[in-house]
Amino acid sequence: MGANLTELAGTEEKSATLAGDGFQASAQVNVIGPGRLVEVKSETVPIIPKGTYYELWFVGPGDTPNRPNRISAGTWHPDKKGITDVRFLIAADPEKFPDIEVTEAGSFATARGAPSGGGRGTRSRRSSP
């Protein structure tokens, strides 16, 4: 029998605002045993074409398009109103992959997170530990 992810509160490790190119969402990372539960929520995520999706990444130091250092946490598509409320259970090591990023299928840097709402207002944002 599977666990309901909404019931797995865990201990909060980090929260971030993911933003860039019209995209804005909140993310919270909770420690759940040896893994992480990541919640991404927004009421204003841009609608993307059918067949494309958003992807959440845990990103490590030195990550570039030519030398990726990242682990995918999962993919999703917002609903018809642009609402996102998704949860991913992952096993990324936060010491090796301290940052969070969202990309749209086929692009490298759509939105990156800054801890608890901070950030530089550019397309390339990353969260910090």
Residue 127 lies in a domain: no
CA 91 → CA 24, 51, 85, 99, 117, distances in Å? 25, 27, 20, 14, 24
Say which CATH number the domain at 20 has: 2.60.40
pLDDT tens-digit map of 44-55: 888 888 788 899
pLDDT band at residue 10 using 50, 70 and 90 as cut-offs: confident
Quickly tell me which residue has 């207002």 as its tokens: 121
Residue 16 lies in a domain: yes
Enter the pTM of the model.
0.75
Domain span holding position 29: 10-112
Structural domain count of the chain: 1
Residue 62 lies in a domain: yes
